[in-house]
Amino acid sequence: MENILLVGFPNSGKSTIYNMLTGQLRKVSNYSGVTVDSASSELISNSINDKKLSVVDLPGIYSLVPTSPDEGVTTTSLIKDCAKYKTIAMIFDLDRFEASLSLMLAVKELLNKRIVVIVNKNDHHLLTSDHVKKLEKRLGVPVLSISAINDDEKDLDTFIRTHIDSEVHFKEVIPQVKVHAESKQFMPDLVESEHFVEIPADEVIKSIKAHQAEARDIISNIYSHSSEKTKLTQGIDAIVLHKFWGSLIFIAIFYFIFHAIYSWAGPLMDLSEQLVTSLGDLVAPYLGNGFLKSLVIDGIFAGVGGVVVFLPQIMILFFLLSLLEQSGYISRAAVLTDKLMSVFGLNGKAFLPYMSGFACSIPAIMAARSIPNHKERACTIMTIPLITCSARLPVYVLLIGTFIPKVTYLGFLNSQALAFFFLYFLGSFVALIIAKIFRLTLFRGETSNFIIDLPHYEKPSLKFAIKQALRKGKVFLKKAGTIILGLSILIWFLSTFPSPESKLIENKTPAEISSITLEGSYLGQSGKFIEPALRPMGMNWKTGVGLMVAFGARELFVSTLGTVYALGDVNEESASLRSRLQSEIDPATGKPVFNMAVAWSILIFFVFALQCISTLAILRREMGSWKYPAFMFAYMGILGYAGATLAYQLLK
């Protein structure tokens, strides 16, 4: 099978073209550094063609002199793995035609390989067929002009297959990349090889300028235009990047997202709950009345089912984020936050990992590879889990909906949405404060310069946003079907055994039996053991059981409360669970177990504490040592305990 390598600028449309050819759903975004790993897949058309082709999507680069780890991935792949492929597909961005052509000239000079050029973003046919012919003649390579968003993938597939079958043979050469000393850290696999040549920085700049001058000369004889898109983008940026109006727009957009997560998902969550309940009712009669029924209904359905109903909120969040990414606004948000980030020792490139952290810490930590400065990257990674991820949403929905009265201020500000906003803001603000502390101590150093490419504004594709939401939903369900399923079974076992003596449950109702069983179980005993440490936070052993389970997966906190209180299959919207929390009385004091102070204590704990095993695993992989996950777990645990204790003591 022959491999085709996609090479081009960030935001040039590489991943979109990859998706067109392969039918995959590679992450697409108008922000440099989103694609941080290579991806490979066969072409869809392999099923109807004898010649089998595979396409490889690499992280975007601006030149062959890497300034970040993801650019280093591409440069290393181009050179070290050159024997694995025969064809390079250079993806040109028509809005950055000169720069794209300059990169292509550098690649052509470095590698003696077959090159085809795909000029993307020709939405308004500004590059005519006559321009394409002149460009082909001048460059000596095949050229195709397309709009990846609007055009059919068949033409693209035909173009690649036509020119990859040519009989031109290329002599193998040993490529040598010429870079300055600062780029060595991003290409460790090449430094000691024959492919690497270190030269002074001024010679590197001279070489880049030579390619730019050649590109400028080629274009001046072939093509020129004044882009209306550029004028429109500049007009919008005058408002969106304004110090005052831009900040208001930024706040309004993200408040809208939080409001949508809380308000829009309600009917869909109710439907999901009904489906899970109906499925449980359908299966229950066939399971008898023994441990098997308890495992399936009380363990699997109560655990996984309570998480599945959270799916609509996940999909709404990713749908809205996808629209923002496609439009080009995310990079503007990075510019707006750069000045703020610099106060805390970071630059605007940290915004994307933090932004990704609202969905999940794992891809956010990986996205931090786009930050070239090692200390800034490490500092960003070590504070990302403080950003409120989507796994915390069930807890927020349950406690805010139960204990914070729904009040409207100024005719449009919802008190519960404001509570959501505060929790998200608190996590982000504290992440920046901790980042500043780290930059002054553990990761001390100068803040690097912030340079970012601002793409033109684009009309977002609803179809793609829906696909992204569905894809993320699928990933979430896969997680629910593996990690959470396993944890649900483990929780069921720990909450069921050892079984209580028969005399203790004689003449008791099913709900009373469940409660007695849980209290005497391994899980209940563990909760009682840590209860003295929970008292300063206003929590009892039952809440402690929920917190222990949540360290495996935050989403399970809600369903665990359902098990603790013998309510069966519940979720964050369940009226039975909310009513039970409001009516639970502490027999020792005669006062409610849960109130506003306890609710805020739990919420603050979830804002700060690290409760995700998967995050620790990915952190170990990215940082190369277990000392970083251990330190993160410790400092966030202390922060969560102190924050929850303070909240409870102030509000009780």
Would you place residue 307 in the very low, low, confident or very high pLDDT band (cuts 50, 70, 90)? Answer: low
Residue 7, in any domain of the structure: yes
Peptide bond into 498 cis (omega under 30): yes
Q: Clarify whether residues 350 and 206 are in a common domain.
A: no
Between 294 and 57, the higher pLDDT residue:
57
* Paired tokens of 455: 């793409």
Would you place residue 33 in the very low, low, confident or very high pLDDT band (cuts 50, 70, 90)? Answer: very low
- Would you state the torsion angle of the CA atoms of residues 134, 137, 143, 147, taken in this order, to the nearest 10 degrees? -10
Residue 567, in any domain of the structure: no
| 87-93/413-414 β-pairing | unpaired
Query: 3-class SS at 349?
Result: helix
Q: Clarify whether residues 219 and 335 are in a common domain.
A: no
- The mean pLDDT of 378-405, rounded to a whole number, is 89
Residue 414, in any domain of the structure: yes
Yes or no: say if 121 and 95 are a contact pair by the CB < 8 Å rule: yes
Residue 527, in any domain of the structure: no
Note the pLDDT of residue 144.
94
The pLDDT of residue 604 is above 90: yes
Yes or no: say if 311 and 318 are a contact pair by the CB < 8 Å rule: no
Residue 647 and residue 256: Cα distance in Å, rounded? 27
Report pLDDT digits (tens) over 571-599: 677 787 888 888 888 877 888 889 999 99
pTM for the whole thing? 0.62
* Paired tokens of 212: 């730019």
Q: What percent of the chain has pLDDT over 90?
A: 18
Would you place residue 225 in the very low, low, confident or very high pLDDT band (cuts 50, 70, 90)? Answer: low
Q: Which residues pair with 178 in a beta bridge?
A: 197
DSSP character string of 200-263: -HHHHHHHHHHHHHHHHHHHHTT-----HHHHHHHHHHHHHT-TTHHHHHHHHHHHHHHHHHHH
Which of 225, 254, 273 delimits the end of a domain?
225
Yes or no: say if 387 and 361 are a contact pair by the CB < 8 Å rule: yes
Please, what is the end-to-end C-alpha distance for the chain in angstroms?
68
Q: Clarify whether residues 204 and 336 are in a common domain.
A: no
Domain membership of residue 405 as a residue range: 329-447
Closest CA to 269 of 571, 580, 484: 571
Residue 388, in any domain of the structure: yes
Q: Where are the alpha helices (DSSP H) in 88-140?
A: 97-110, 129-139
CATH code, 28? 3.40.50.300
Residue 231, in any domain of the structure: no
Report pLDDT digits (tens) over 76-108: 888 887 778 878 999 998 878 888 999 999 998
The pLDDT of residue 29 is above 70: no
The pLDDT of residue 641 is above 90: yes
Residue 192, in any domain of the structure: yes
Note the pLDDT of residue 615.
81
Which of 447, 482, 505 delimits the end of a domain?
447
Report pLDDT digits (tens) over 534-569: 999 999 988 998 898 787 778 778 877 876 776 666
Residue 354, in any domain of the structure: yes
Q: Which residues pair with 87 in a beta bridge?
A: 4, 114
Which of 427, 447, 467 delimits the end of a domain?
447
Would you place residue 167 in the very low, low, confident or very high pLDDT band (cuts 50, 70, 90)? Answer: low
Note the pLDDT of residue 320.
84
Number of domains present in the structure of the chain: 2
Q: Clarify whether residues 204 and 345 are in a common domain.
A: no
Report pLDDT digits (tens) over 473-500: 776 677 656 666 776 677 778 877 888 8
Q: Clarify whether residues 8 and 143 are in a common domain.
A: yes
Q: Name the residue with tokens 């002009």.
A: 145
